[in-house]
Amino acid sequence: MSELKAIRVAYGEALAELGEENEKVVVMDADLAHATMTATFGAKFPERFFNAGIAEANMVDMSAGLSTMGYIPFCSTFAIFGAGRAYEQVRNGVAYPNFNVKLGMTHSGITLGEDGGSHQAIEDLALMRVIPGMTVVVPCDASETHRAVKAVAEMKGPAYLRLARLPSPVFEEEMPFVIGKANVLKEGGDLVVFACGIMVSTVLECAKKLEAEGTSITVVNMHTIKPIDKECILTYASKCSKVVTVEEHSTIGGLGDAVGEVLLEHKCNVTFKKIGVQDRFGQSGKPEELLEEYGLSENQVYHQIKGVLEA
């Protein structure tokens, strides 16, 4: 990992590439195109780009209508508005009739930064997971975002892409991307960590520190939250017996609960810990300060993982 690049920037680039490959791809935005980076697509394909204005519910319903005409709409705004304000339209207008709409929602989690708790979506994975038939994807870096965009475009039915604002490391090795199939980035027998989004790079750095101390952990990029890769969870829970999840989201209803449900259903005898936002709203601050405040800095994640190892 070397280059830093925002996942939302990669999203805009991926949409523009996809637009060249498939003339049925259209993009919707709610007056935030230069923040969500859908403006990249709009500049290239203005006839297939629609700004719905600050009317997120209308944007989602417009996308639903376009999908019935054979188009593949990518519908974008900040996660708090797309998953929150327009929730009823996502549920009843898109998912209930199983329309082929892709929700690419940016500025998720606390690393949105200074806009504060009102704008920091820490519940969006929980909201999207609970909707029947909704696929939920959280790319870990800019490179994976390109592959994720193409993958959700090729699948049929509604999908939610959770996209970060903060520039984050780009992995040098390109990983395969299959919806519902996790990627194992590092093998180790002492503990397994399932992570998603920008926390994946944080966990890998923690793994390096632990390796230097003689502890070897498995790191899994769980890029698809729904459908969750049950086989991967059970395989590594059996191998390691200590399981940790790390996410920039509430520990209620997100990746941690998705993994925990699998462990409980299959009566896995493991030590289990969820690392994430602990039932709190976000607040205004620099992204790095907020990660520290909510226990998600690299050093804090390292010590929490080490605590599980020593328990």
Catalytic residue ranges: 56
Could you count the other beta carbons within 10 Å of the beta carbon of residue 117? 14
Half-sphere exposure of 158 (CA within 13 A, CB side): 25
Contact 225, 250 (CB under 8 A): no
Q: Where are the beta strands (DSSP E) in the chain?
A: 4-6, 25-29, 49-51, 72-78, 102-106, 135-137, 159-162, 167-169, 183-186, 191-195, 217-221, 224-226, 242-250, 271-277
**Burial of 300: CB neighbours in 10 Å, binned 0-12, 13-18, 19+:** middle
Q: How far is CA 193 from CA 47, 201, 254, 268, in A?
A: 44, 12, 15, 16
Instruction: Give the position of tokens 């609960």.
Output: 257
- CA–CA gap between residue 192 and residue 184 (Å, rounded): 10
Instruction: Give the position of tokens 């929980």.
Output: 126
The sign one gets for the Cα dihedral 111, 112, 118, 123 is negative
Contact 292, 171 (CB under 8 A): no
Give the amino acid at 297: S
The token pair that represents 148 in the structure block? 């994720």
